[in-house]
Amino acid sequence: MHSFEMIHSAGAPAALGPYSQAVRAAGLLFVSGQLGLDPQTGELVSDEIRQQTIRVMDNLKAVLAAANLDFSNVVRADIFITSMKDFPLVNEIYASYFPGEYRCARQTVEVSALPRGAKVEISLIAAEKA
């Protein structure tokens, strides 16, 4: 029998559909994709990619913290952006959230559209440290 735990943080926006912000299973935390939505209003913080990316990373940080984890626990990230022209800026902001030289596995994909007209979405997988 598997044991799963749904994780929720008030510091990140509520799920937009029938899913959880994150689920802990077998020592891993699977964090659903986060958009640049303000947790209080549920609206995009800005049309600007910089502000959206910062909010995405802050939302991810809040969900990790609700599971007593942080970016040093992240083993994989998936980044979806609507324009590769934004990649250098998204990459710079993303990297600033990780401690020291640590870098998890990652992929970045350009997509034609994201929910709510967002320009960036990031999901994570984190592992508990032994």
> DSSP strand E in 1-130: where?
4-7, 22-25, 28-34, 74-81, 105-110, 120-127
Dihedral sign from CA coordinates of 83, 57, 66, 77: positive
CA angle 57, 60, 64 (to 5 degrees): 135
22-25 and 105-110: which strand pairing? Answer: unpaired
Q: What is the mean pLDDT of each run of 10 residues along the chain (130 residues)?
A: 86 89 96 97 97 98 98 98 98 95 95 97 93
User: How does DSSP classify residue 11?
Assistant: T
Say how far apart CA 28 and CA 73 lie, in whole Å: 9
Instruction: Give the pLDDT score at 62.
Output: 98
Structure tokens at 119: 């320009």
pTM: predicted TM-score of the whole model, two decimal places: 0.95
Instruction: Give the pLDDT score at 48.
Output: 98
Instruction: Give the pLDDT score at 1.
Output: 53
Instruction: Give the pLDDT score at 3.
Output: 86
Instruction: Give the pLDDT score at 115.
Output: 95
